[in-house]
Amino acid sequence: MIGIYAGSYDPPTNGHLWMFEQGMKLFDKFFIAVGENAHKHYSFTLDERLEMIMELCEGHTNVTVVTIENKFLVKYAESVGADYIFRGIRNEGDYTYERGMRYVNSNINNNIQTIFMMSPRDLVEVSSSLVKGLVGADCWEEIIKQYVPEPVYRRMLKKFGGQRSRHLF
């Protein structure tokens, strides 16, 4: 079985890491696709996001980290022979959005199924937006440590250490 999990991962969080780990267990071959949207402002470059994810998945031989630019995920999944699109659900809002995307994807290719994975309770509030929104506040360095994997934390300290503006992103 081949699965693909896509996102912007800006930055990768503990929630993303949990999904990576689940995908690595479920699929014989697992693609982690890093999205790039020209209309979106990123805190980390595409190369930085790729490097962080590759470091998080180091040693797992069934993982391939790729980029997707200007292509429907389901079409990319089709091009690599994926059987499944793997998506995380944290809350009702995620479910509503992902359900709609699942139906659109099935209109494009109904042979590629979507698998939803519910986040564990302790990761429900964790998102890249939350993490980025904390940067710059007093003691942000201590607080974000609980929401991102250690390699991501080190990179955030290096990139944003000492910054005290609430408007970094």
Q: What does CATH list as the number for 2-124?
A: 3.40.50.620
Q: Based on the number of CB atoms within 10 Å of its own CB, is 156 exposed (0-12), middle (13-18) or buried (19 or more)?
A: buried
Structure tokens at 158: 């290096």
What's the pTM value of the predicted model, to 2 decimals?
0.90
pLDDT in tens, the chain (169 residues): 999 999 999 999 999 999 999 999 999 999 999 998 878 889 999 999 999 999 999 999 999 999 998 889 999 999 999 999 999 999 999 999 999 999 999 999 999 999 999 999 999 999 999 999 999 888 899 999 999 999 999 999 998 986 554 444 4
Give the start-to-end residue ranges of the domains of the chain: 2-124
**Rg of the chain on CA atoms, in Å:** 16
Structure tokens at 110: 């109904």
